[in-house]
Structure 1
């Protein structure tokens, strides 16, 4: 039976009542999902499971009551739908997502985008391994083949014998808009860079501060990478000889990641690049595996932190914005690592200096992402505070020192009132 199908034929392979598993980011097969979105009336029920959607679609908005969208980390479109209460948000640590989905689905089928098939009959998930690779060989799979998808090495390959069918649809990949690095980002990055030694293994997230940190590491030597997300800055450091991976304890001389998101230049960098290993998130983000790397450094962001050291990184003023992602995974992993360091960054204020992001208590309805027991360093433009191994009163004093000066007296007053100052 021919595996290549038309879009109509490929849709007929998705049974009514299916749990559709879609990889994150550029693993999203636009042509198939757009056709599905136009054909929702043909289904009595569907449940769609995904992280980091790239497009707004009707199935996120309860156009039909029995069509459900389940998000495990929201991008902008799902965020809007969540505020309208038309989707489900499932709490998780990123490394647990594959098994969480596995337990939630009843009639799973994976719908994904891949590179063209190679001479051995394998498609590559390219920019993703994430939770999708967990389901290879376990559930039915249909594929959108896209010549723009790079071919990568790792455990993200699907053999033609493992799929129900595929369509061909070529379109350029989504590129992450470049983020302006501000002076405040460089200031915060400077505090972090001072604590990164040669030979460290790094996890770096997205945004101006991580980009600024990377820009300050050009004179470092033998850095390694074990990260959930591979970014343009990491590729640039590798090309400049800063990243060699020679000191890594696991996967020496390899860059380990579970998804890639950035520019076309980054996608060209990863295409058939043997230095990159794309591995499943249940491996990459497992704190036990993270801890196997000595001197691992994790850099993440939060929206606010309280005197206990609790970090609310997925809500803003008590309203949901994203989800936990891998912050707690790496926060725990660096605690277990020999000489591991975890940095959580934030600007000291919000709303044009009207609100302090360092607070006596988190805003009402805020969700704790990194607990007081797992926090290590907190960094603002006013300095760096190590909270690990510190008492509550010591944490409070350290956090007030790196708060915006206009709020320090108020914070000190609240700390005394709460009995936090000894």
Structure 2
């Protein structure tokens, strides 16, 4: 059983204090609800509620919006939709069906644009809780998410600790580091410096596609690792048959159009066809703002009320959300007496690993949902005494999950 629908949650007050008359949340469900088998999946920055493949989804847009975790969620997959009732909801501020900057303001009849209230990860969590109430779902068997979706998971544990039995936060951290904050700042400046941005009120006219394209290219560089870029592109020319639409500068015709340039241009073109520039501003702001310890004395204090089990999954090649950041979060959980396992995957794919290596992501999630942290193959990489921190993150290979 699958459903694709929109729920009207009525008037919604954001944590900023501002309200909108009606918040509509687009969501998809997979499987049948039996009362104690609900799994909420939280999407990443530019993802959508379309987390798994559907027989009626042939016309969906490309990229993460199209079954973005289709090899992890589905019948017989790690998050098995024949066993679990899976819910994935588009977050407020995005542009895949949930109310956001591109939506019509009922009070003016025009798109909100940047009159839309500021959005936080906490607003995502609160809207998900209200949606689940509408669906008749109380306590969750599990909440799972990657990247900023993993931050969404952590916010569930501090905001609704009694509503979650098990949780998995994949390729995430308790907060962004200054380098990532800086890169997100440059990406947003690329959008707001586009002459077509018009203060965010560009709907009905030319859109800031160039600015959004540059922002997405910065994002793609953040998601890849040096080894993965060297392997995929090297310094190779894209070839004579690959022609850029127009040279970026007069001297460009003299130099080769490299594969890495071609890749970034292609990804930017695809992205501007499917995503809204204002939504990119709002979503990155929400991610940048998230700090697990905000309002608490520490990360441990923020998680102290959670009595379920938490699995952290990190990737050795991910410099966006590092293994060290995940281990710091795991240590905060140990301090708070939260049942925790930190599973480190050896990968050189960078941050994209949680999307492009389902064979490494799926097994630990499957085991968590089935057996919890008592499962004998999940490895907690807590540092041993007398081991330096940089030596304590022993990679865990997929083979360890075979019987």
TM-score, with length taken from structure 2: 0.28
Q: Of Structure 1 and Structure 2, which has the larger fraction of its residues in strand?
A: 1
Higher relative contact order (CA 8 A, sep 6+): 2
TM-score, with length taken from structure 1: 0.27
